[in-house]
Amino acid sequence: MTNSKSKTILDLIGNTPLVPIHKLNPNPRVEILAKLECFNPGGSVKDRPALYMIEEAEKKGELTKDKIILEATSGNTGIGLALVAAVKGYRILLVMSESVSEERVKILRAMGAEIKFTPARLSTDGAIEFVYNLVRERPEKYWLADQFNNEANWKAHYYGTAMEIWKQTGGQLDVAMAAMGTTGTLMGLARRLRELDKRVKIAGVEP
């Protein structure tokens, strides 16, 4: 046990454990490892790009305390952004389909996020269109995280997740696999790991 102390909960984002999977692995000659992103304080891998997108925007002067963080989300990215916003003192408006679970809504509101709902029939596309229109109308009021198009999304994994995996495996890696949503995780892993070893295969899984 160490006596080190984190300055804020944001220091706990990343550096998650990589553990072997035994019971789900039918082939004893193959080692399957799982990166436990649930260990991030917001409970998912989305904490990484949430923090990276906000800090990159701060460095560029795009996000200042007079602006409201704005994003369309179905849950996890919103939780990550709300967590970072709460710690850094930003206001945040999240736009979600009204079909999202009440549990996620309660979590986001507990973190101080303001939530706007769009019709369920429009799915997440409706929420995305809403935030684009809002930021076009009031660019001086909002900073749009725009996880689907923001390069900081995949760069969070290029500089963070991929390098953690590389170090944790000692560079002994044959295949990297990730679920596909915005594809930020997969893009970051693929670009970095393939730079380190062109033999590494990349697999995407669509939920």
Q: Which residues are catalytic?
A: 46
Cβ distance 148 to 182 under 8 Å? Answer: yes
Please report, as a single letter, which amino acid is at residue 21.
I
Cβ distance 158 to 184 under 8 Å? Answer: no
SS3 (DSSP) at 123: helix
| Whole-Å CA distances, 42 to 48, 111, 115 | 10, 10, 18
Per DSSP, the residues of 146-178 read -TTT-HHHHHHIIIIIHHHHHHHTTT--SEEEE
> How many CA atoms within 13 Å lie on the side-chain side of 95?
26
